Structure 1
Amino acid sequence: MDTRFLAIAELDDVPSVAVVVDVMRAFTVAAWAFARGAEKIVLAESLDEALALKARHPGWVALKDGPPAPGFDAVNSPGMLRSVDLGGRTVVQKTTAGTVGALAVKEASLVLCAGFVVAEATARLLRIRAADQVTFVVTGEDGRADEDLACAQYIARRATEVDTDADAFLRRAGGSRAAAELAQGVRQGVHPDDVALCLELDRFPFAMVATLEDQLMVLRPSAVPSPND
């Protein structure tokens, strides 16, 4: 498998297969939303679009980075979201990096959104699809976020070497700037458990696939058969 690791700004073509990585916290939150029963997640281009979608669909749940804000129902925190009942609901998500990265590759034939919590399922799906070329989009800090790069490199390695150990990659993520800022309360809309939840390896058994539906980028969980199935 030929891999490349790019920042959002470095995307100069439409990749065939793209894995968009945002560990802290967009795609950890997305995975928790599905675990709490969400049917789908609409990735919004802007806060205004998120609010407009919410206005047209009052039953949808609007979620954003940072502190609570009028019109939004939730913040981008796995620690806060894990106690919310989202059974059958649609979530509209707008974040600083993760959703931007997914929208940047929306024309790709396969778009996966990932963090450590769905790493094995993501790697397994890449193996099943026999992807020859995969672009990993490192969303945080203009492509320099070590937690995202570590996760991307782990998934890439795991897709071809199933005995790859995650410990060193998780240590890098745990020592990242994002982890420190979350732990120290530098960022807003944070739960004390957020870092630990973002570093839970393979917490969920599904991958997350984003596709264009009626001009919206929609993320859904995708069950991935285990090797023993």
Structure 2
Amino acid sequence: MPAFYRLGRCDRDRITSGAVSIVGMDAQVPAGRVVVVIDVIRAFTTAAVAFERGAAEIACAPSLEVARSLRRRHPDRLLVGESGGLRPADFDFGNSPFDLSTASLDGRRLIQATSNGTRGLVRCPDPAAVLAVSAVNVTATARWIERHDGRTPRTIICTGSTAEDRACARHLTGLLDGTAPRRADLIAGIMAGAAEHARDYARLPPAERVDLSDDVRLCCDVDRADFAMVGELRDDHVVLTLA
């Protein structure tokens, strides 16, 4: 296992490579940086699959309450997300790329709320740009950054504490540095993170456990999506569109 998979929790450690900083959710991010928010299992894999299925935009909310408030204002929008990994009863879809992979979403606008990924998007008030990334669109995201903000310092936020987000952060940093990171290492990191999640869920009562087996296959599908997901900050949420 590569050494970087054995790093401590992202919210304890700060890793810097040139103009790129990898931080956790508790870090203070200076204004004016390109902010890349990672959630591989599962929020931004789910978002990417939703865009593949035809979604027009995704409003990412920091909480279920904000998501429901947005839905009351825009009743035609679909609610996607989780609480404790499970779909809330009033949501149209859970936070599952597998479930979204067969959904018909042509032209639909979505509202997504998750424990980590969507919450991470809204925590940087004045970025030069903000993007959502997972393994499925990591190379497209690197290309977008180089094309639009090639010289702007970057902060990569790992929204989770398990191995998959750190692996994706290292892979993205390698792409930006031109060091040709290995796809196999990224997949190994995702699988290590999935095993961590499985161990955590196994400690819960059966009704609270989440089966990630179908989702992990999609989470490991590196570079299946040839687009970046770029955010626009609103008062209480961030809207993702394709670029």
- TM-score bracket for the superposition, by shorter chain length: 0.7 to 0.9
Q: What's the % identity of the aligned pairs?
A: 33
The answer to whether residue 65 in structure 2 is matched with residue 45 in structure 1 is no
Structure 2 unaligned regions, length at least 5: 1-17, 203-207
Contact 2:29 2:155 in 1 (8 A): no
Contact 1:15 1:134 in 2 (8 A): no
SS at 2:151's partner residue? Answer: coil
CA deviations 1:154-202 (Å, max 9, x no partner) are: 01111221633221122122112x4443599647554532111101110
Letter of the 1:193 counterpart:
D
Contact 1:123 1:155 in 2 (8 A): yes
SS at 1:167's partner residue? Answer: helix
Structure 1 unaligned regions, length at least 5: 223-229
**Which deviates the most, 63-72 or 150-159?**
63-72
Note the 1:135-146 alignment, pairs <5 A: 135-141=155-161, 145-146=162-163
Partner of 2:205: none
Q: Normalising to structure 1: TM-score of the pair?
A: 0.87
Contact 1:24 1:179 in 2 (8 A): no
Give the Cα separation in 2 of the matches to 1:191 and 1:64: 14
Q: Normalising to structure 2: TM-score of the pair?
A: 0.82
Q: Residue 195 of structure 1: which of 216, 219, 225 is its match?
A: 216
Give the Cα separation in 2 of the matches to 1:25 and 1:179: 14
Partner of 2:95: 76
Compared CA separation, residues 167 and 134, structure 1 to 2 (3 A): same
Letter of the 1:196 counterpart:
R
Partner of 1:156: 173
State the 1:6 CA deviation. Answer: 0.6
**Which deviates the most, 178-187 or 166-175?**
178-187
**Which deviates the most, 55-64 or 156-165?**
156-165
CA deviations 1:58-92 (Å, max 9, x no partner) are: 21001111333232111001011111111111111
Compared CA separation, residues 57 and 188, structure 1 to 2 (3 A): farther
Compared CA separation, residues 185 and 197, structure 1 to 2 (3 A): farther
Contact 2:61 2:236 in 1 (8 A): no
The answer to whether residue 153 in structure 2 is matched with residue 133 in structure 1 is yes
SS at 1:201's partner residue? Answer: coil
Contact 1:77 1:190 in 2 (8 A): no
RMSD of aligned residue pairs (Cα, Å)? 2.1
Give the Cα separation in 1 of the matches to 2:78 and 2:155: 30
How many pairs align?
A: 218
Letter of the 1:181 counterpart:
H
Letter of the 1:100 counterpart:
R
Compared CA separation, residues 190 and 180, structure 1 to 2 (3 A): same
Q: Residue 106 of structure 2: which of 65, 68, 87 is its match?
A: 87
Compared CA separation, residues 117 and 103, structure 1 to 2 (3 A): same
Compared CA separation, residues 155 and 179, structure 1 to 2 (3 A): same
Contact 2:62 2:114 in 1 (8 A): no
Q: Residue 170 of structure 1: which of 173, 180, 187 is its match?
A: 187
State the 1:18 CA deviation. Answer: 0.6
Partner of 2:72: 55
Partner of 1:7: 24
Contact 2:62 2:120 in 1 (8 A): no
Partner of 1:22: 39
Letter of the 2:136 counterpart:
V
